[in-house]
Structure formats: C-alpha cells, structure tokens
Amino acid sequence: MKGFKLILIFFLLILCTVQSAGASETARTFLDGIKDYKENRFTESAAAFSRVADEGIKNGKLFYNLGNAYLKNGDIGNAMLWYERALKLLPHDPDLKFNFEYAVSLTKDERGDKEYPLVRILFFWKYLLSQTQTQWAAIIFNLIFWALMTIRLIRRKNRFQTIGHVMLALGLIFTFTAVYNDYETNFIKEAVILPARVSIRSGLTDDATELFVLHAGAKVKIDKEKDDYIRIAFSDGKIGWIKKSDAGVI
C-alpha cells in the first residue's frame, strides 16, 4: 500500500513538471514573438504567435498580436483574418478596433456586409454587448424572473407583478439575442480572402469563367463546401467558387 502511494506521488510530480515545462515553452514562444516584433522582424513574430495559436489557445489578445504582426509584414489578408477572429472575443477593445479600422482602410474592396443604421438602432443591445455579455444578461434576467415566480408560488401572494413583467420582457429579449448570436457563431461561417488577388469563378476548376475579383482582406460568407473548393457569397448576389486555401475561416 505504501509502495502504491509512492508511485502515485511520483507520477503526479512528473505530470506537473511536464505541464509546467509545456506552459513555459509556450510563454517563451510568445515572448519571442513580442521581441521579434519590437525588433521589426515581423515574419518571425507572426510565426511565433502562430505557433502559440496552433497549440489551441483562443485568446483575443493573442489574435490581436497576430493581426498586428501580419499587418506590419504587409500581409493584409492574414491581418484582417486575425483581427476578425480577435473581434469575436474582444469586440470592445479600443486598440483592436483602432487597428482593425486602419487595416480596413488598406483593403481594396468595399465591405460586402454593409450594416444598416436602422438595424443598429433597433437592436442596439446586440451591437453594444459582446456575445458572452448577452448570454449572461439572458441568464440573469431569466433567473430573476423564475425566482420571482417561485416566490409567488411558495408565498401564494400576487406580488412582483410589475417587476415580473419587466424581467420577463428583458429575459425574452436577451434570450432571443443570445440564441441568434449562438446560431450566427455555429451556422453562419465567414472567411477572409488571403491572397492579394483572387478570381471568383463559376465552377470548381481553374479554367472556369472568372465572375469577379476580390482582394486580400475582403470578408465573405461561406455558402457551401465541395472538395477543395468553397462557394462564397460577397454582396449584391455576387457568389462564386474559390479554393479553400485562398480564404481563412474566421
């Protein structure tokens, strides 16, 4: 029994050591990326940040750094891709918004996903809060409403009518928004054009008719996937096929 305990402790120690070694290696790569960036070695910096991201770390700040490194390296396509990914996690970060707007100003194609001011006014909370904030708002209002309902049940008193209605309305609004956001995340796939110039074609071959041309940084919706090609939708009914490698999924 004593021997078994010793083996267990030894095994746990090894596990902890391996884990901390892995973490320190990732941190070192991250710091290398920062150092390369500061010394204007943007290709090396982007490669270092990419290695960290490849380890499965999903963090808005890391994605922001990747966007910066690619932008400084003159790769507007990848810069826009990583800024878009970062915006999903840090929608209100001022640095990110500033750099993203600057990157947008460098792209050649007008943005296809035009936002309508009326929609922004009518559904302001969708644009004001991040996806996580909307989810928590829905959960909290929902919880308060059901708590009031439960108290009414237990106390058998017709109380909290006004506040109950308010909580119900808010709970419904935020629940629908959270569900729609969740649908957008899981079912509406978007991508960014990576090469400087891409021909959008009518078919799944390189010699298919060129329908229109997009440039690096253009944001498109992924409509369909087939073999090594994806069908993308830009704006005003502009759809066509491009190679998967020409677009980075956000």
Partner 1 sequence: MIGRKWNCWVFVTFFAILTLCASVHAAEIQAVVDRTRIGPGESLELTVSVKGGEGTVDISPIRDFKVLSGGTSTSVQIINGRMSKEVNHSYTLIPLKEGRLVIPPLTVMTDKTPRKTAEIIITVSPKTQDQTGGQDVFAEGKISNPSPYEGEPIIYTFRLYNAVQIANAQFQKPEFSGFTAKEVEKSQKTYRTALNGREYNVTALTILLIPVGAGPKTIDPAILECDVVRRQSTRRSPFGMLDDPFFGQNSLEHRAIRTEPLSVTVKPLPPFDGNGQFSGLVGEFQIQSQVDKTSLDVGESATLSVTVSGTGNIMDASAPEIGIPDAFKSYKDAPQEKIQPGVNGYAGEKVFRTALVPLKEGQYTLEPIALNFFDVPSGRYRTRLTAPVSISVHPSREKDKIEVYAPPASEARPLKKNVEFTGRDILPLKEDMNALETQIPMTTVWLWAFLLTPALFCLGVKVYLTRTTKKDDPSSLMAQRAEQALKDASQPGIPAEEFLTCLSRSLISILLSRAGIKGESLTYAEAELILKSGGFSEEAARSATRLLERIDSARFSSQGMDLESRETLLSETRELVRKIS
Task: List interacting residues with partner 1 (CB under 8 A).
Answer: 23, 26-27, 30, 34, 37, 52, 56-62, 64-65, 68, 71-72, 89, 95, 98-99, 102-103, 105, 131-132, 135, 138-139, 142-143, 145-147, 149-150, 153-154, 156-159, 161, 175, 178-179, 182, 185-186
Report the alpha-carbon distance of residue 220 to residue 142 in Å, rounded.
Answer: 35
- 29 close to 51: Cβ distance less than 8 angstroms: yes
Nearer to partner 1, 100 or 229 (CB): 100
Which residues lie closer than 8 Å to 142 by C-beta, 6 or more apart?
Answer: 171, 174, 175
Looking at residue 106, its amino acid is: L
| 178 closest CA partner among 204, 140, 146 | 140
Nearer to partner 1, 4 or 187 (CB): 187
Q: Give least dist CB 211 to partner 1, A.
A: 33
Q: Give least dist CB 98 to partner 1, A.
A: 5
Q: Give least dist CB 53 to partner 1, A.
A: 10
Nearer to partner 1, 83 or 241 (CB): 83
Report the alpha-carbon distance of residue 182 to residue 17 in Å, rounded.
Answer: 38
Q: Give least dist CB 17 to partner 1, A.
A: 19
Calculated CA dihedral for residues 49, 51, 56, 62, nearest 10 degrees: 0
Nearer to partner 1, 87 or 198 (CB): 87
Helix or strand (DSSP H, E) at 210: strand 210-215
Nearer to partner 1, 147 or 169 (CB): 147
